[in-house]
A and B are shown apart, each in its own frame.
Chain A
């Protein structure tokens, strides 16, 4: 797919504007410059609204219609909001258009009521335009909705992919790019089928079995509820984290509090670094336990054994050594220890020869000697184990003390901020904001604890289910119908498990493929000896090579963002590779997609901006980037200018005069802009 032109009518602050995208080879980047609030996110939403009727606005999500247009309209008037996109896909030209008609219901109605919605897709074949019968489906085939978050995204959020607890998103993205919905659906259906057979078993089963099944199902329902609760808690936690971030940004804007907020960020970064050091020490402790942990516990065993065996040796209870070389020497001399001749081929010769290798008497003494001889080694390992552990624990304690100090300092910053009276135009003071932030922080901690509790409960319930399943399997006294249904249920479960296993294997293959690309992209831009990869648990991690050992490093926002972009880029590349591959398969067909990114330079420092600017053009054939002037100027501009084909400036007028309304115009030249 290649974007050509986007036209907006009455869509939020865009009254009647259009953008033509760059499609040149080597210059496939279109940059849209705009200050905060000028409409960059609105443009990103124009794509998702057109394709999937989805929008994600922070303010007034219900208001799609242009404020000026609806204010000037009379009650009863109808206004059309429209987004139109011209694009090419597989050498066919398309025009997709979504229109929504809103009616103004009262003089104070600035949202309007939706009275009509229409989506149309036309395609040009053989010189004439034809309208597609099922436009929604057509668009979903071109860019499936499940892939939309990969290709239309907010760049500032993207670094979260490489954050903690994001295995779900990484895994989902990989599943989405594979497009194996057929396997997902089949597994789901088999689940239903197994459920239906279970109903049958229940109907035909003995009372005892029936009760067990009922009990199991009820616990399964509880698990489903808990999983939902877990997701809700996760969402609530993300929301609170976002709110905290927003509040902190506001605090940063006050001259009086900016330095304190900066100091707090610095303390937190130091604390994170110390926590990472603690984790490295914990890793060392684990290594010690693995290597030598059994030694202190095993010392009495070895001591007692060595002591007793040595005594037995002295008493001659353990037969003295009779080893293979001695037997060989007897055979060679052709004379037995008892003085009898040993002629090759005789029975006696063969008997002596057979004593080689498995001679018990020989092994016992050697084995005894081995135990005694290792006593010292065990003793040394014990001392070294305790010494090392004590040393690590001491070091860790000192780190904990430092972390406590930083926590105190962070609290002090909070107290200082809570004493500041400076107030914004909207009447919020620093102290109010900080108090609010502290409350939110507590809320977040509570949610994290709640999440832990829910996870524990889920685990307990799953254990109960697995015990019940064993009990159900052990029931043997049911009737023929129940047995048959049970066999069928088992068959459906087995097939389901098989499919799921195949799906997991395929996913792992794509993960490995993706890692190859990530290493290439990340390696070419990220600093020093860092590497990024998706682990077998689907976590996007950044490692550092320290003395030949891979150590997970505490990542900066910039590095996380680069890793995340490298991941997205890897999926785009895989999709393109699959699409271009000469394959007859109807599965995993891939595709060519553009990338539309809002503010990918977000909160990055200059160095990381430069690095991210280098990656972006490599991610896809066509890239649309939204940026503020301050994000653009400097390294980004230097790096990207050669690959930029078109540039636009969003000229935002906040409409603060009489009879004026907020409006954004899209300019092809950088005019005298109002503000950044």
Chain B
């Protein structure tokens, strides 16, 4: 059996995953919670392991989840070597996910019935019209050109 990630769970997982099927699997909700934890700057460093358990492969098999995990680990430590340290990444993911769970409980955990609309409203709070500006915009543009094989003047 491959490596597993233990993460903190609450009834909200049962509601969001099993009861209302907003996510098919617990690990998808876990990643969702982790980005909430980061966005709200609320990682939980103490109580982040729990009865939830998933195979690490599930996360690593999805390119975008790998990116989220690596970015979280880098932002959390400031050390680029964590980009390839999966052990650190899964631990940090679990910490942000546990923190995100607390935020989610507050934001849509107490909604009676289906929490879909509450989740949409929560995400929509972060909607911005901005595209990449300044240096970042330049990086992205430059990178796109590089990727397309167009050499810059």
Contact = CB atoms under 8 A, between A and B. Distances in A.
A375 B140 contact: yes
A285 B81 CA distance: 37
Point out which of A297, A303, A375 has the most chain B C-beta atoms below 10 A from its C-beta: A297
Nearest to B126: A296
Contacts of A304: 75
Q: Describe B's contact surface by its main secondary structure.
A: helix
Interface in A387-436: 389, 393
Interface size range on A against B = 35 or more
Interface size on B, as a range, is 35 or more
B31 interface: yes
Contacts of A296: 123, 126-127
B147 A373 contact: yes
B116 A297 contact: no
A675 interface: no
B22 A367 contact: no
Contacts of B35: 294, 297-298, 301
Interface in A604-622: none
A282 B114 contact: yes
B70 A286 contact: no
Interface in A264-318: 282, 285-286, 289-290, 293-310, 312, 317-318
B55 interface: no
A286 B117 CA distance: 9
Given A364-B81, A376-B140, A371 B123 contact: no
Given A309-B74, A389-B120, A373 B143 contact: yes
Interface in B24-74: 24, 28, 31-32, 35-36, 38-39, 63-64, 66-68, 70-72, 74
A374 interface: yes
A282 B115 CA distance: 11
A309 B73 CA distance: 13
Contacts of A305: 70-71, 74-75
Contacts of A303: 132, 136
A297 B123 contact: yes
A303 B143 CA distance: 13
Contacts of A89: none
A297 B144 contact: no
A364 B80 contact: yes
A371 B136 CA distance: 13
A561 B22 CA distance: 31
Contacts of B21: 286
A324 B140 CA distance: 28
Contact of B32 (A297, A376, A386): A297
A487 B74 CA distance: 48
A494 to B, nearest CB: 18
Interface string B1-39: 000000000010000000011111000100110011011
B123 to A, nearest CB: 6
A95 interface: no
Given A300-B39, A364-B80, A376-B143, 13 more contacts: A286-B22, A289-B123, A293-B123, A294-B31, A298-B39, A301-B72, A302-B68, A302-B71, A371-B71, A374-B64, A375-B132, A375-B143, A463-B11
